[in-house]
Every structure is written in structure tokens, then in C-alpha cells.
Amino acid sequence: MKWVYVEDLKNHINEEVELRGWVWNLRSSGKIHFLQFRDGTGFVQVVVERSTVPEDVFEVAGKLRIESSVIVRGLVKEDKRSPYGVEVLATDIAAVQIPKEPYPISKKDHGIDFLMSCRHLWLRSRRQFHILRVRDAIIWAIRKFYKDRNFVLIDTPIFTGSIGETAGNLFELDYFDYGKVYLTQTGQLYLEAACLAFGKVYNLGPTFRAEKSKTRRHLIEFWMHEAEVAYYEHEDNLRLQEELVSHIVKYVLENASDHLLALGRDISKLEKVTVPFERISYDEAIKFLQSKGVDIQWGDDFGGDEETLIASQFEKPVFVTHYPRKAKAFYMQPDPSRPEVVLCADLLAPEGYGEIIGGSQRIHDYDLLVERLKEFNLPIDKYQWYLDLRKWGSVPHSGFGLGIERTVAWICGLEHIREAIPFARTLYRVYP
């Protein structure tokens, strides 16, 4: 008999098929067992009727418990009342394993700490099924965007000798005879090298920051997608970003809107995310915040609350540009007409999600870069290779990094970033 996944059941109406999966819930009326079945691709109800199956099959079904693994054979029936459109009338059931203990995740009101401790099991829940499938769609959307534009994927290293962003939140470790290296905060410096070799490049990988902030937007280990393009200046960079983000949203709406609806996401808000996005300057943002009574001075960086307030004026993501050079990283190109600010932008998502992208034009002048490294007290000797890029064939170039989990949290409408990644590493959690 043909093994079919739940996602394909609609194509097998009135056929007898085999399903392999798990029972996530069950109830019984004495004459009928209703098994809520999942196989990782979807959910369906399996009905086991005493009158239509052999006695021993009915008995097996009666012994099943939550999260029993089972192989079910049955007839696929169209069922308009079912949220899945089909139902399966069992003809045979084989239990692969019946748990000896009750499944720990049983109540509706488990606390978040308990659920995070059970993340290895919690992944099986319908909510996580939908969230992580949206994450999968987002990553495909990113890859497709760059494939269609002929960018080259460059996998950047995890161990780095040169600090990529700031000395403040590094994970240090000993690397054989070399001495101290760091887990990467960003692949940017390596993408800068690669864009001078391949023109337009991107990466997608894990990044690490020992951030002591315990907020709903921060992870210790998170995935970042970065792009870097030779000869791109500030405005080109913003255009690429708005095209990427609107493409991601469109792709998810076209390919995963069922998952968004199942999560209760208001899709009409996402439908507004089309190019172009609004741009406001840091100066304007500061004036706006001060007009709202926020105690903030020119030169300060924004925290989550400030970002939320700024973005709440807009229905789609908004670029905040030209931050003070003191508030941003060493590699950002100062604005030639106003050297106290840099040619950078943060993209703030609406609905309280805050920064999802940070990017900038990069310094391409050798002497200026050396000056800036010194200004930030970074060890010049660890940046010789990076400085070489300014010695041979240096050109203006720009790029950005998009936080995958922040994007997932925004698109899914999650309250907290910890559900946007399969196994979150936060300040107090590295288990499971």
C-alpha cells in the first residue's frame, strides 16, 4: 500500500493509503476512537470504528496514548467540516511505540519556562509547526531572491580573529597555538573581501553575541543573512533591502499564508509591505522622540522602546538613516557632507518589532579605516587582511545584515523571539 504524507491526502480522496506518524491527541466514544494524527507535514483526524475494523485493530487503537507512534492504513474521505478538508477512516493500525508515561505537555496553560525546557517535545505542537514552516519559507524566499539576481553564496567562517562588530559582546575561545579567537558576530568583513572577488555576494549562517540583555528581541545565538555589493553606495543599499524585505513578505503570503492564518496573524498588515519604504533621518527620529517626551539626546542609540515608537508612525518597515558615527560600528563610511554622521540605516519593522536590518556603506579609504580602527581601540594587526582590501582595487561598497529570527517574529506576529528558532539560546538557557 502507498505511503502518503498528510500534505498529499487531498490527492488521494476515496483511495486507501498508509500514513506514518504520531497521535497528538485522542478521544473515544466506546464505539469509535478519534485519533488526532500528525506526520510532520500536516494534521488529520483518523476515525477508528468498531463496526468496520477487525476486533484486534480496534483494541490496539484503544491502547494508544498521546504521542504514540503509529502506522495507519485507511480510506481517505473528503470532509468539508474538517479544517483539513479530509478525514481518514482506518482499516488497520500498527503501534510502533506506545509511551509508558503520560506525555508531559498536556495542559493548555503550561508556563513558558516549562515549555522551553521541553522544547525538544514542544516542537511537535501545532503552533511550532506553523512558526517553523514560516521560518523555512522565509529562508527559501531569501535564497530565491539572490538566486534570481545571480548573487554568489559565500559561507563565512564561525571562528574569527578580527572583531567584526564591537568588542563588547564577544565569545572568546582558545584556538590551538594561535591564541584567542571569537565566535563570529557577523560575516560582514569576509563578505567585503568576497564582493571584491565576486561582485554581489550573500551569506546565511549563525552568529553569536554575548548580550546581557534579556529582551524579547535578543538571542545569544541567532541566524543572520548578509549581503554585500561592490560599487553599491548608500541609496543602492537601501533599495536592495526594501526589495528583499517586500519580496520575503510576498513570498510568505503566497506560499505560507495558511500557516500565518493558523497563528492568528493579521495578514492585511503584511499585504501593505510593498516598495518603497519610507526613509527618515536619525535627526528627525530624535526630534520626533523628544516631541513625545522621551528623554534622549542627539548621539544616543535607540533602544527597543524608542524603535517601537518611531516605527509606530508607519504601516510598513521604515529606514532610519545617518546615525552619529559614535553610535555605530568602525567600518561605516562617514557622510562626506557631514562627517559626524555615517551612511547607514537601520530598518525598523512595524507593530513593535523594531530593528530587523542594520547596514551601511563601508569605508573604502585605507587611511580613514586605520583612523577609525584606532578610534575604536581595535588591534590593527588583526585587520591586515581587511586593510589589504583597501590597498588593491578598493571601491565604494555597501551591505547589510538581516536578523532571521526578528524577521520570523515580525512576520508570524510572535510576542517573543525565542519561538522563532528551533532551539533558542538565551541568557539563561542552553538546554535542550
Smallest gap from Cβ 82 to ligand 4AD, in A, equals 38
Within residues 307-336, the interface with Mg ion by CB under 5 A covers none
| Count of chain residues binding Mg ion (CB under 5 A) | 1
Looking at beta carbons only, is 102 or 422 nearer to ligand 4AD?
A: 422
Residues 6+ apart with CB under 8 A from 330: 369, 372, 373, 375, 376, 378
Looking at beta carbons only, is 187 or 358 nearer to Mg ion?
A: 358
Partner touching 399 among Mg ion, ligand 4AD, none, CB below 5 to 8 Å by kind: ligand 4AD
According to CB under 5 A, which one of 358, 359, 396, 399 is a site residue for Mg ion?
A: 358
Q: Are strands 318-321 and 86-97 parallel, antiparallel or unpaired?
A: unpaired
Interface positions with ligand 4AD (CB under 6 A): 165, 186, 188, 209, 211, 218-219, 222, 224, 226, 355-359, 399-401, 403, 405-406
Partner touching 403 among Mg ion, ligand 4AD, none, CB below 5 to 8 Å by kind: ligand 4AD
Smallest gap from Cβ 168 to ligand 4AD, in A, equals 11
Give me the half-sphere count of Cα atoms (radius 13 Å) on the Cβ side of residue 124: 20
Smallest gap from Cβ 96 to ligand 4AD, in A, equals 38
Looking at beta carbons only, is 269 or 279 nearer to Mg ion?
A: 279
Looking at beta carbons only, is 46 or 320 nearer to ligand 4AD?
A: 320
In terms of C-beta distances under 8 Å and separation of at least 24 residues, what long-range contacts does 302-309 make, across chains too? 302/346, 304/215, 304/217, 304/354, 307/346, 307/348, 307/354, 307/355, 308/352, 308/354
Residues 164 and 188 sit within 8 Å (Cβ to Cβ): yes
* Alpha-carbon distance values, 430 to 216, 366, 403 (Å): 16, 41, 20
Return d(Cα 1, Cα 17) in angstroms, integer.
6
Looking at beta carbons only, is 22 or 323 nearer to ligand 4AD?
A: 323
Return d(Cα 321, Cα 114) in angstroms, integer.
41
Smallest gap from Cβ 191 to ligand 4AD, in A, equals 7
Q: Name the 3-class secondary structure at 387.
A: helix
Return d(Cα 329, Cα 386) in angstroms, integer.
15
Smallest gap from Cβ 146 to ligand 4AD, in A, equals 14
Q: Which residues bind Mg ion (CB under 5 A)?
A: 358
